[in-house]
A and B are shown apart, each in its own frame.
Chain A
Amino acid sequence: MPPIEAGQPAPEFSLGTYEGNRFTREDLLGRITVLVFYPFAFSPVCTEQLAIYQEVLEDFEARGVTLYGVSCDSGWSQQAFREKLGITIEQLSDFEPKGAACRAFGVLHPGGFPERALVMTGPDGVVLWSHQASNPAELPGANLIFDALDAVGV
């Protein structure tokens, strides 16, 4: 399943926040958002990926970009993961119905977890850029996101 491509509007979707609210397509509007889909909380590669993004979070913020981590783990697991890593990147849970949002973005792995993928949306909710790692063990460097921001002129 290929990830959603640049130029396509983000699909309708619903993800859970730790506070128990829903995060939907509406929440993408008015700003630049990067959804960081990762396979599992606590798996070693994900740990480094989000930890490294956290190190340059202020650079993303300076460019008006908000990052969210997205996985099929429950909000409780995601919160424990955040606390363990000491990261502030907000997490969104695709737990119920499991994988529905990932499927809508074209990033659901056949194994029932998100591919390691990045989807950037613009203030109008249209996809500006997307990337999927060739396999879930491959880490997309933060440079890919910065390069994409340069390319779209942000």
Chain B
Amino acid sequence: MRGPAGARAVIVYGDYECPFCAALEARLHELELRVTFRHFPVRASHPRAQAAALAAEAAGRQGAFWPFHDALFADQGRLEDPHLWARAEALGLDLVRFDADRRSDAVAARVREDFRGGIRAGVATTPTLFSEGLKHAGRPVPELWDALRQG
């Protein structure tokens, strides 16, 4: 979770290989929101989504979840392993630990838990955003920004 305390709370289910998720992410930065990101990687649609989600969680183990998250969305064309290592290195992470963590059962369980939570919440596509009674699924539309701005 990030964003100013007291700001409108938003939960986003998304994956790092999903272009609409990146579009949503970019616009969320422009609004004062308290954002929680949950992983919803659909491997059949986005083959690198799972690896990217695991990498973000592994970076999180070293306190760098959000910087890694931003770095993934900033360049969705580069999600192969060497690109993930390069991001970890640029953020000054311990690479050996990063690699061990992203392959660990604990990190996999974390991502899986997010996915199952999304299923229970009725997520059927990415991105899906929930905020104080509002639910928006799929490509972000201008009406969504209006609704979020109203607070």
Give me the interface of A with B, judged by CB distance under 8 Å: 45, 47-52, 54-56, 59, 85-87, 139-144, 146
Contact = CB atoms under 8 A, between A and B. Distances in A.
Contact of A48 (B115, B116, B122, B124): B124
A78 to B, nearest CB: 15
B124 A49 contact: yes
Contacts of A49: 124
A47 B45 CA distance: 7
Majority DSSP secondary structure for residues of B touching A: loop
12 contacts: A47-B45, A48-B124, A51-B44, A54-B44, A55-B115, A55-B119, A56-B115, A85-B44, A139-B137, A142-B119, A142-B124, A144-B122
B125 interface: yes
A115 to B, nearest CB: 16
Bin chain B's interface residue count: 10 to 19
Contacts, number: 50
A141 B123 contact: yes
Contacts of B124: 48-49, 52, 139-142
Given A55-B115, A139-B125, A47 B44 contact: yes
A144 B121 CA distance: 10
A130 to B, nearest CB: 18
